Amino acid sequence: MKQYGLIGHPLAHSFSRQFFTEKFAREGVDAKYLNFDIESIAQLPQLLEEHPDLQGFNVTIPYKQQVMQYLDELSDEAREIGAVNVVRVTRQLPNGQLPNGQLPNGQLPNCPILKGFNSDIIGFMDSIRPLLQPHHRRALVLGTGGASKAVCVGLNRLGLEWRYVSRTPRDGQFTYADITPNMLADYTVIVNCSPLGMSPRTDSCPELPYRSLTPQHLLYDLVYNPEQTLFMRQGRRQGATVKNGLEMLHLQALASWEFWNGKD
């Protein structure tokens, strides 16, 4: 039986296993999806050795950038974004060749070939696009991890200017202390790419002047568990449009399946 899975730490919040298990059962796919909660990305080679039927896997926090050191190839989008959330595993035949008869330079026989992709950008763009209005011209991106990099490239492609917001002062980005009511009048899209508010710590949210939000604002939270985060509830109280990351998860998962099955 073919195997697929998810690597990350911790994985208690993940819905991916349920999503793919239901997909496989519904479509009659002879495969299973496993969670691999690994404490270090250095455990990846051993994981691949122990699971010879693994055809591909998703990558989540905190390994979307760390995993890249183990990959043989990158898609153009993954290279541009600088983060990977999908890896296709190509197993060589017993004679050390790939199914197409080729053996990549530098590869040893029976070593899996790993190619990284980014489906976060697909899920994000397709899910936020219907909510964007002409007055949505600038965005604040909360958090600077692997998912935020896909979000920023997606915002560029959608024609929005953006600035990072982080707890750590750095050139070219805001800190949370910098966010004022006047600034929020210009930045009418706010995307939370941080884990703040994620179950089980549902009583937390990014520190923003929420009372300055208006019905012109769009708050998009990549967190999808709980269904309504405190960040979203704070925005809804002020009449803002809010959305969680569940549809993004579904869309990026479907794109993952295509990458695992040969789409380049």
What DSSP letter does each residue of 1-46 carry, written as one string? Answer: -EEEEEEES--TT--HHHHHHHHHHHHT--EEEEEEE-S-GGGHHH
> pLDDT digits over 164-222, tens only?
999 988 898 999 999 999 999 999 999 999 999 998 899 999 999 999 999 999 999 99
What is the reported pLDDT for 13?
65
18-32, 82-96, 145-159: least confident range = 82-96
| Positive or negative: CA dihedral 19, 21, 26, 29 | positive
Its pTM stands at: 0.86
Helix runs in 113-245, H state only: 120-128, 146-157, 181-186, 230-237
Average pLDDT, the chain: 92
What is the reported pLDDT for 89?
97
What is the reported pLDDT for 91?
85
Q: What are the residue numbers of the active site? A: 64
What is the reported pLDDT for 200?
87
| Positive or negative: CA dihedral 250, 252, 257, 263 | positive
CA distance 147 to 141: 10
* pLDDT level of residue 108 (50, 70, 90 thresholds): very low
What is the reported pLDDT for 93?
55
SS3 at position 121: helix
Length of the chain equals: 264
**Cβ-based neighbour number of residue 136 at 10 Å:** 19
Determine contact, residues 85/252, Cβ cutoff 8 Å.
yes
9-13, 92-96, 214-218: least confident range = 92-96
CA distance 249 to 131: 17
Mean per-residue pLDDT for 143-151? 90
Determine contact, residues 63/57, Cβ cutoff 8 Å.
no
* pLDDT level of residue 15 (50, 70, 90 thresholds): confident
> pLDDT digits over 35-74, tens only?
999 999 999 999 999 999 999 999 998 999 999 999 999 9
- Does the pLDDT value for residue 101 go beyond 50? no
